[in-house]
Structure 1
């Protein structure tokens, strides 16, 4: 091959580099050896070798959620691409831009009974907004750009299957730089908001429901809340951005949120939804005027019974609304109810967080985590019992929450933390996990060691799939399959090269956590946790 000739694999990496890709997550396999060879010969893109493809998919999804840029993962054919699907499901459901590049059978074996062959386009179709088989070397950059553009424009998964022999084939394709987008001036006019403002002015019991799309508009939400006389509720994704000191902030909604806010929320007459798609059935009002603000038109009215959809950035729209709402609301019965509910829950929450029982109460663990971490820490929270306890008891000071929102896969906490530390090495990163969740991905503790990622893994160790056990208890089901046979997490972590601690009583809790989060190496802390039925557990329907 002459210097002027490029292989498909080389062009893939050059094109990814041109669009700002810094790393690819994956597991090596026979069908991507050509890609791995080229990865070894360049320095711009780092290959992060994990132990299971599902972790690679979750890490790509986590990077996309954290940065807004495209996350990339790769695998071999057959079981490799099948294992990726769990991570791709998370990206699909949470609208994270992720690109999966998977090896496929050689071109002369496509459609045959060749080992590990499956129609990958059919396999990933439920998860990917774009998927294609690369059938000619010269098509590689066109297809790659189409895939990445689709993912970034839609907040979605894209996928390319590359036959094994094509990676080393010569291509005449050309690399193209990513366009620089210059956003136009606002097209929102005051007269377009007349009906919205009229509804807001007539509201007697307004609520603002804020999601992650409001993260850069917290002050504006607070100002509007005060001026309009509206209580504020937040989804888990936004929880870290809204300081508990905000006057009319009642906390979260849904399981793990403020337990007293549900009834008040159900009596609201106007709800302003800011950058959120979370509308938890059973916690929300039935007959209510909903005004939904979202940057993406596709999100409006999709899952929320919206009357007025306002497309645009939260800051832009909220600024318009603030100008149009009359002077600050005088203290009213509605505001008093909001404040009473906020204060009542704060008092009860503090009492719960100071529980001194042994094994240690989950809320006490949450309080201690809160007390020892930095204000801008990233908390990667696994799916399960830890999710609802963190939602219920954690009082944020601008920490960022990372989690599997709608896909809700167990095992997400560790991969999310690994990706977060790679993206933001200067930040403190914690994985908050249950014993069941961490057991699904234990092998990737070695990934933290391999890449010297000084994350802190905190394990709520209650020897059960506690959330499912809770639902069985509340629903009157037999408790089958929810007891866990746990290893010694300290020995496992140490064998993987991590520092490790065990906490068994409240006196140890804070000082060991302080020591653990300040280690300059990957660390695991296992905490003997009380198997408490979460107070808001409802029977599954």
Structure 2
């Protein structure tokens, strides 16, 4: 039976395992909505905003590694996809975006809602195809899917309104999508050179990212043979969890001092599956070996002595076979002790006995860490929420984290939870969200209700853009209350108005019961966590420039408070109170 373009594309997507299309429909997508409606195995996820649709695709594709699909109609609807698709691109996950276009005869005339989408999406997509005739659809769709799956990138199909309903007569290029599991294997001489460099050092450290996920056991074995501390990137937190003996923490802006020290004070640093972005948290005078499957990552952040293009699991396994064991373990033991002390400090800071009001955000993260399931999925919002998730939680077992870790966009949390919960309906899915980010995306809480996706959201309600405040003070500026202050709705009332549920928490003793209630609820659930804005989320190492910036900022804030600015005085009091609560 012959199919029109929309019917063929939806059939092909189902054939390769796609289960849902995240979209907001419109005239150029109506044929797709109709095609999905006729199919019992493919679901149209009717979102309230296209940006959330693209973020939901990211959440699904990041976890499953399968292609996810979103759609936006013509110009405005397609443009709304951009931010979420940028996040998918920078996270290197396979996403197909289907975008409509004005009728063929009107293209190039400045027609209503017409946008040059190819030019607009050039920086996002690894491949774009504009389908001008129905016979092009099989060929271009197959190519798009293969590029997305092999390159782990974003691809786009653009289809004029009138083409979507045209019948495909020639199916010559309708062949199975080629999904390859081929791996890059480096030559023996690369292994031998790496072994020589490792053998030449006494203190070896490993910096591992999420690119080493499949090589986890090998990295741990190499660490044990070399007495090398393992430091992880934020995206590697759910690979090298902090309950693993040789893991000494996270480095970077939201890292800890043991992790930072292990990277900066080794003789040889072995970077495995990470394009860790912060050059100022990488050593400038050490020997560095970098292993990655992407050639463009080698030496991208730090000058390297040796780069290996190859599969992490195979490469590390072959290094283990040839490298000499290290007998000296003082470097490792020192960092293990420091890491244990740091974790004890985090435990102390996040104890429920710290019941000053407003509460420390760490209390919620710590209690969630205790109660969440061993295979829970956590969406960490950009900003301070990622700090609470990184410092007070351990991603052991099958736990996973997702977020806008490369793109750094606000409002990823809620929609990423939707994508994760749809992909894994039997797992707990938690969002750790700032109040500013949640309000950006809150319209799609009704989508969670509609599709019975029981996501759980902790909204850190401090009525302020907290991470931006820290950036402002680091730059030596006084806090701008007008720019940072948030006027929030009643989040629990909003949840219930949407058909979800929620609870407001203002006392430490109520946190355990609130999380237990959220877990038990069959509905999407919001915990309105009323917290202080006074916690300073400082990096593991503060430069003189940053210290100078903070001191200038505090001096300016003090002067403004003396002059009668009550908001500055309240800020100073909240920071002092939070500091003494933590210690």
Task: Report if TM-score (shorter chain) is over 0.5.
Answer: yes
User: In angstroms, what is the RMSD of aligned CA positions?
Assistant: 1.9
TM-score, normalization: structure 2? Answer: 0.88
Q: How far did 1:70 drift?
A: 1.1
Q: Partners of 2:355 and 2:406 in 1: how far apart?
A: 34
Equivalent residues in 2 for 1:199-218, closer than 5 Å? 199-218=197-216
Q: Does 1:145 align with 2:142?
A: yes
The corresponding residue for 2:374 is: 375
Match of 1:342 among 336, 339, 344: 339
Q: Alpha-carbon deviation of 1:189?
A: 5.2
Correspondence 1:34 to 2:31: yes
Alpha-carbon shift at residue 298 of structure 1 (Å): 4.2
- Aligned twin of 1:394: 393
- Judged with a 3 Å threshold, the aligned counterparts in structure 2 of structure 1 residues 515 and 126 are, in CA distance, closer, same or farther, namely same
Label 1:512 to 1:140 Cα distance change in 2 as closer, same or farther (>3 A).
same
Deviation per CA, 1:289-346: give whole Å up to 9, x if none.
Answer: 22222234443334443332223332222211111222352333x2233223212312
TM-aligned CA deviation for residue 178 of structure 1: 2.0
Counterparts in 2 of 1:491 and 1:182: CA distance versus 1, 3 Å: closer
Which of 483, 508, 511 matches 2:510?
Answer: 508
In structure 2, the CA distance between the partners of 1:242 and 1:80, relative to structure 1 (3 Å rule), is same
| Superimposed CA distance per residue, residues 273-293 of structure 1 (whole angstroms, 9 cap, x where no aligned partner) | 121111423222112222222
Q: Counterparts of 1:191-206 in structure 2 under 5 Å? A: 191-206=189-204
Shift of 1:6: 1.5
TM-score by length of 1: 0.95
Q: For the residues of structure 2 that align with 1:144 and 1:170, how far apart are their CA atoms?
A: 16
Aligned to 1:442: 442
Q: Which of 98, 101, 108 in structure 2 is aligned with 1:101?
A: 98
Residue 135 of structure 1: how far off its partner (Å): 1.0
| Structure 1 residue matching 2:80: 3-state secondary structure | helix
Q: Is the 8 A contact 1:413 1:432 kept in 2?
A: yes
Tell me whether 1:356 sits opposite 2:383 in the alignment: no
2:73 is the alignment partner of 1:76: yes
CA contact (8 A) 2:384 2:537 kept: no
Question: Residue 194 of structure 1: CA displacement?
Answer: 1.1
Q: CA deviation at 1:78?
A: 1.3
User: Are the equivalent residues in 1 in contact too, given 2:72–2:81 (CA < 8 A)?
Assistant: yes
Q: What is the DSSP-based 3-state SS (H/G/I as helix, E as strand, rest coil) of the residue aligned with 2:44?
A: strand
Aligned pair 1:493/2:490, yes or no? no
Q: Deviations over 1:63-107 (max 9, x none)?
A: 111111111110111110111101111011111111111010000
Secondary structure, counterpart of 2:339 in structure 1? helix
Note the 1:252-291 alignment, pairs <5 A.
252-291=250-289
The alpha carbon displacement at 1:396 in A equals: 2.5
> Structure 1's 326 and 510: CA in aligned 2 closer, same or farther, altered over 3 A?
same
Q: Shift of the alpha carbon at 1:246?
A: 2.1
CA contact 2:469–2:479 (8 Å) conserved in 1:
yes
* Structural mapping, 1:157-168, within 5 Å: 157-168=154-165
Contact (CA 8 Å) 2:145, 2:177: kept in 1 or not?
no
Q: 2: CA distance between counterparts of 1:431 and 1:176?
A: 40
SS across alignment from 2:489: coil
Are positions 1:112 and 2:114 aligned together? no
Residue 127 of structure 1 corresponds to which residue in structure 2? 124
Q: Distance in 1 between matches of 2:411 and 2:22?
A: 16
CA contact (8 A) 1:228 1:328 kept: yes
The alpha carbon displacement at 1:52 in A equals 0.2
Identify unmatched segments of 5+ residues in structure 2: 551-583
Q: 1:530 to 1:322 in 2, by over 3 A?
A: same
SS state at 1:457 partner: strand
Deviates more, 1:379-388 or 1:257-266: 257-266
Over 3 Å counting, the alpha-carbon distance change for 1:207 and 1:142 in structure 2 is: same
Show CA shifts across 1:188-226 (max 9, x none).
554441110000111222211111122233232222112
Answer yes or no: is the 8 Å Cα contact 1:73–1:99 preserved in 2.
yes
521-530 vs 238-247, which deviates more? Answer: 238-247
Q: Distance in 2 between matches of 1:258 and 1:182?
A: 36
What's the CA shift for 1:36? 1.5
Alpha-carbon distance in structure 1 between the residues aligned to 2:177 and 2:197: 42
Matched, 1:411 2:411: yes
Question: Aligned with 1:166: secondary structure?
Answer: coil
- 3-state SS of the aligned residue for 2:340? helix
Quote the residue 2:484 is aligned against.
482
Task: Decide whether the 8 Å contact of 1:131 with 1:160 is kept in 2.
Answer: yes
Which has the larger displacement, 100-109 or 283-292? 283-292
**Structure 1 residues 471-480 or 115-124, which shifts more?**
471-480
3-state SS, counterpart of residue 433 of structure 1 = strand
Asked if 2 retains the 8 angstrom alpha-carbon contact of 1:382 and 1:432, the reply is: yes
Deviation at 1:390, TM superposition (A): 1.4
The residue aligned with 1:14 is 11
String of CA shifts for 1:420-467, please: whole Å, max 9, x gaps. Answer: 011011111111111011000111000110000111111111111100
3-state secondary structure, aligned to 2:512: helix
Which residue number in structure 2 is paired with residue 319 of structure 1?
317
Of residues 55-64 and 346-355 in structure 1, the stretch that sits farther from structure 2 once superposed is 346-355
Aligned match of 1:85: 82
Write the distance in 2 (CA, Å) between the matches of 1:182 and 1:148: 15
Match of 2:133 among 131, 136, 142: 136
Q: Which deviates more from structure 2 when the two are superposed, residues 323-332 or residues 483-492?
A: 323-332
CA separation of 1:161 and 1:303: change in aligned 2, threshold 3 A? farther
Classify the secondary structure of the residue corresponding to 1:177: coil
Query: For structure 1, which runs of at least 5 residues remain unmatched after alignment?
Result: none
**Higher deviation after alignment, 356-365 or 18-27:** 356-365
Q: Is the 8 A contact 1:490 1:526 kept in 2?
A: yes
Q: Could you tell me which residue of structure 1 aligns to residue 458 of structure 2? A: 458
Contact 1:379 1:429 in 2 (8 A): yes
Q: Report deviation, 1:180.
A: 5.0
- 8 Å Cα contact 1:140/1:173 also seen in 2: no
Is the CA contact (8 Å cut-off) linking 1:277 and 1:304 kept in structure 2?
Answer: no
Whether the aligned pair in 1 keeps the contact of 2:278 and 2:301 (CA below 8 Å) is no
Aligned length: 536
**1:241 Cα offset (Å):** 2.6
Q: 1:179: Cα distance to partner?
A: 2.6
Alignment match, 1:521? 523
